[in-house]
Structures are given as structure tokens and as C-alpha cells.
């Protein structure tokens, strides 16, 4: 059974959502972010959409992620798979976010990149990590939107954001205490087991939490119609791949 379409173009979920629908909603979300999203969302979405080669890589990788969701034939299983996808994307984008948010430069940056990319040179590792961040951030944005606005489960809002906050803090302390051996290394390492426990608890809570009603304000903002301009832009990007 194919889910019907709302007059404004959004999908109204009645059964398991298809791969084509997942990709349609994701592309619309990315375009909306590039046009009217918060500054950070606009930046990452525009970087992906403005480069045909990066867009193609994102589309291919995101299609694989959404295929794993679509293969689940029951909506509850799709929601669980989508949650696991969000967890993985949070982890994948964590290193670059740490470098950016903690203003890591110089020898400290080199040391971190060497730890996570032992077989690559510094410049190549930094470029690869930036591209991984762009693709993962966009896919996380889209996956989170699918969970909240299409599957309509508020667990993808505050509970998932809480997991992301905990993981970022854990990653920061791991880098400072285990890799960089900063002045506060001992106290950082001492907190790691506690934070890891909190992360595991939050992950389990997100996976098993009863379905919640999404935020009405957030839902309204994300459901704003994108119009024909956005569809034309995506079509133009695809046309570039064939030329």
C-alpha cells in the first residue's frame, strides 16, 4: 500500500514508507534547510547541494541508509531502524564537530586526525573528515525529519537530541583525556565510564520509549511547502550527473 499524499505535497503515513518516499522527503528537507533553515543547517545543506559531485555522493550514501529503513515492512521496525541510523550518523560527524566546536588547531588537531586516520596524511584526513561531516550532518538532518514529521514520533526530537549531547560530551572528554593527554586528562578519563553508562541508558531509552507526539511548532516549520523551485533544483543537479 502506498501512503497517500497531502494536498501540500507531504506524505501522510498509513503504512510502511517506501524507499522512494524516504528519498523524496529527504531531498525536500535538505532543500528547505538550504533556503530557510538555521545558519548551521543552511551551511551544510548548501555545501552539499552546490556541488554536483558532493550531492551525488550524498544521494548515493543516503539512499543506502534509507534502503535499510524501507526493507523493514512494519512501521515500528522502520522507526527502530531509523533510530539506529541516527545514532550512527551522530557518531560519524562527531570528530569534525569536535575540531570545530572546541577550536582544535595545530599539533592537537594533527594528533587527533592521526589517531582516527592512521593510514592517511594530515591534509587528506582533514578533507575526508570534513566531507564525512557534511554527508553525515545532512543525512542526520533528513533522517531526524523523517522520524519526527513522517513517522511522527517525538522520540526523534528531545530524546534524540539528549543522546547527541551526551555523545558529544563523551567524545570531547575521550579526546582530551585519552588522546591529547590535556592538563585535565585524569579527571576527564575518570568521567568516561559514567558518561558511557549514560549514553547506553539514553540509547536504550530512545529505542524502547513509547511513541510520542511531535512538537507542534517544530512540525509546522518542517512541513512548510517547498514548491516547484526546490524540485527543479534537485532535477538540475541530477541532470549535471548525466552530462
**Who contacts 80 (Cβ-Cβ below 8 Å, separation ≥6)?**
72, 207
Residue 18 in this model has a pLDDT that exceeds 70: yes
pTM comes to 0.83
228 to 48, 143, 231, 234, 242: CA distances (angstroms): 20, 22, 5, 10, 22
pLDDT for the residue 14: 57
Residue 210 in this model has a pLDDT that exceeds 50: yes
- Placement of cell 498509513 in the chain: 14
Taking a C-beta distance cutoff of 8 angstroms, is the pair 30, 142 a contact? Answer: yes
Query: Tens digits of per-residue pLDDT, 29-73?
Result: 999 999 999 999 999 999 999 999 999 999 999 999 999 999 998
Take residue 14 and report the three cell numbers written for it. 498509513
Of 103-107, 118-122, 182-186, 232-236, the poorest mean pLDDT is in: 232-236
Kindly state the average pLDDT of the residues 193-197: 95
Mean pLDDT of the chain: 85
Residue 195 in this model has a pLDDT that exceeds 70: yes
Q: Is the dihedral of CA 55, 218, 155, 188 positive or negative?
A: positive
Of 70-79, 166-175, 224-233, the poorest mean pLDDT is in: 224-233
**What is the band of 149 on the pLDDT scale with cuts at 50, 70, 90?**
very high
pLDDT for the residue 86: 98
Taking a C-beta distance cutoff of 8 angstroms, is the pair 152, 212 a contact? Answer: no
Kindly state the average pLDDT of the residues 132-140: 98
Residue 133 in this model has a pLDDT that exceeds 50: yes
Kindly state the average pLDDT of the residues 131-143: 98
Domain range summary for the chain, segments of one domain joined by + = 19-153+216-242
Residue 12 in this model has a pLDDT that exceeds 60: no
Amino acid at each position: 500500500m502506498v501512503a497517500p499524499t497531502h494536498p501540500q505535497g507531504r506524505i501522510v503515513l498509513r503504512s510502511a514508507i517506501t524507499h522512494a518516499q524516504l528519498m523524496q522527503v529527504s531531498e525536500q528537507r535538505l532543500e528547505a534547510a538550504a533556503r530557510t533553515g538555521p545558519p548551521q543547517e543552511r551551511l551544510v545543506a548548501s555545501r552539499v547541494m552546490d556541488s554536483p559531485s558532493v550531492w551525488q555522493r550524498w544521494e548515493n550514501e543516503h539512499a543506502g541508509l534509507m534502503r535499510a529503513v524501507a526493507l523493514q515492512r512494519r512501521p515500528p521496525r522502520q522507526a527502530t531502524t531509523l533510530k539506529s541510523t541516527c545514532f550512527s550518523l551522530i557518531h560519524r560527524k562527531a570528530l569534525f564537530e569536535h575540531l570545530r566546536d572546541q577550536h582544535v588547531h595545530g599539533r592537537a588537531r594533527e594528533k587527533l586526525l592521526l589517531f582516527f586516520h592512521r593510514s592517511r596524511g594530515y591534509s587528506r584526513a582533514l578533507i575526508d573528515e570534513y566531507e564525512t561531516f557534511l554527508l553525515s550532518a545532512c543525512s542526520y538532518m533528513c533522517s531526524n525529519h523523517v522520524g519526527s514529521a513522517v513517522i511522527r514520533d517525538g522520540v526523534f526530537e528531545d530524546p534524540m537530541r539528549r543522546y547527541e549531547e551526551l555523545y558529544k560530551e563523551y567524545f570531547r572528554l575521550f579526546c582530551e583525556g585519552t588522546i591529547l593527554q590535556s592538563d585535565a586528562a585524569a579527571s576527564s578519563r575518570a568521567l568516561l565510564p559514567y558518561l558511557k553508562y549514560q549514553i547506553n541508558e539514553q540509547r536504550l531509552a530512545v529505542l524502547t520509549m513509547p511513541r510520542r507526539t511531535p512538537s507542534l511548532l517544530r512540525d509546522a516549520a518542517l512541513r512548510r511547502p517547498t514548491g516547484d523551485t526546490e524540485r527543479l533544483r534537485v532535477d538540475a543537479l541530477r541532470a549535471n550527473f548525466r552530462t
